Amino acid sequence: MSESELPGAPDLAYRDGALSLEQVPVARIAEQVGTPFYAYSSAHLERRYREFTVAFGGKAMLCFAVKALSNVAVLRHLGRLGAGADLVSEGELRRALAAGIPPSRIIFSGIGKTETELRAALAADLHQINVESAPELSLLSDLAQRMGKTARVAIRINPDVAADTHAKISTGKAGSKFGIDLVHAADSFRRAKQLPGIEPVGAAVHIGSQITSLAPLEAAFGRVVDVYKAMRGEGIKLTRLDLGGGLGIRYRHETPPSINAYAAMVTRLTRGLDASLSFEQGRWICGNAGILVSRVLYIKDGATRRFVIVDAAMNDLVRPAMYEAWHEIVPAIAPAAKAKRAPADVVGPVCETGDIFATERELPPVAAGDLVALLSAGAYGAIMSSEYNSRLLVPEVIVRGTEFATVRPRPTYEDMLAREKLPPWL
């Protein structure tokens, strides 16, 4: 593909024949940190944040979905631009606070918040807690009373709308574990109004991720707006709408809606509501900001297939194994214009048949020792990595213009082993 076709362009491009993130060739990063590694473009993160705020005229709060990419340096960069944070665990809360994001810009979501996590949220005095079940609402009321706090609560509504995305990242249909069913939403608001220690302030919704059409979002938002209006009509003083995230990006051939079209749809649905708006975009902000760079170990010619064996594996980027996800794979040196492409399976060294990044992928010539980059790896890449097969976690790097910094170093084997302890009888 040409430079302009690379997901993440213009921040990712071949410059003088070398694949570069902003102005830094990925080969230069590899020389310093080794492979594999993740690298993120700070310019891309900033561009996406500013595009979102401009589309909404600066009148909406964007709370970055920390589950997409939780590196503290990334969070601090976005926080300094004005972003808040959307959390689903106490660990993510601690990361957001460590990054300097003020509690007044933090939303705590998630269906299984523990008592400890709810206590932490109350102690931090967050912008709001998105409640997803009647038992959670009861527990939160009890804790708020005991702590002398008032919990600002939004009820997350399950609008029974299919997100038209992968089944494992669709969260808005009836029967999903997420949110309070539409038929029970009104009663939940009424109960929240009566419970001590609870201040119902808004309605929330999130129907899934990697959504590439406005239609399901518009249907879901419309149903939540109807509930919001009805509750206001009953005298429940709601003032906020949290419309979640889920906007898709281009991995291959997708054509997601523009942010301006999205903002126009939201503005039309919410006009005259007297509601402040918040959003929880994650992938849309960071997905095409990041790449995973790996080195080719071997070219293996089998009886029926050719294998390109790289030093990254499914433990480093699990999306292809988990979601059958497509990531463009490109060499670090621009191929010749007439270079002949040939099919190959790009695989990692983990002892699993599913450790495959691409099957029968048409690739330009690559050889052992070459660097390749898996694109669109900023969201749900490093964040979902593991030490499976006792492989070390890969480092994370952030780039700014002509400079880069390692923001999560590669641990040593000694670091990995030091976390484990033998019992006294051994």
Rounded CA-CA distance 416/400 in Å is 30
Nearest CA-CA partner of 87 in 245, 196, 193: 245
Per residue in 278-289, is it b (16+ CB within 10 Å) or e — as a string? bbbbbbbbbbbb
- Integer CA distances (angstroms), 298 to 50, 306, 313, 317, 370, in order: 42, 11, 14, 19, 10
- Integer CA distances (angstroms), 316 to 127, 172, 322, 377, in order: 34, 29, 12, 10
- The answer to whether 286 is a known catalytic residue is no
Coil, strand, or helix at residue 151? Answer: strand
Nearest CA-CA partner of 136 in 177, 103, 175, 95: 177
Angle at 163 between CA 186 and CA 171, to 5 degrees: 60
> What's the number of CA atoms in the CB half-sphere (13 Å) around residue 366?
33
- How far separated are the first and last CA of the chain, in Å rounded? 57
Relative to beta strand 396-400, strand 403-408 is antiparallel
Residue 204 C-alpha from the chain's centroid: 18
Residue type for 406, please? T
Q: How many CB atoms lie within 10 A of CB 403?
A: 11
- Integer CA distances (angstroms), 35 to 123, 300, 391, 397, in order: 41, 20, 12, 12
DSSP 127: S
DSSP 142: H
Nearest CA-CA partner of 189 in 241, 230, 158, 140: 230
The CB-based long-range contact list for 185-192 (8 Å cut-off, 24+ gap) reads 185/155, 185/157, 185/227, 186/227, 186/230, 186/231, 188/131, 188/134, 188/137, 188/155, 189/155, 189/227, 189/231, 189/236, 189/238, 190/234, 190/236, 191/134, 191/137, 192/131, 192/137, 192/153, 192/155
Which of the following is catalytic: 303, 337, 351, 426?
351
What is the set of active-site residues? 351
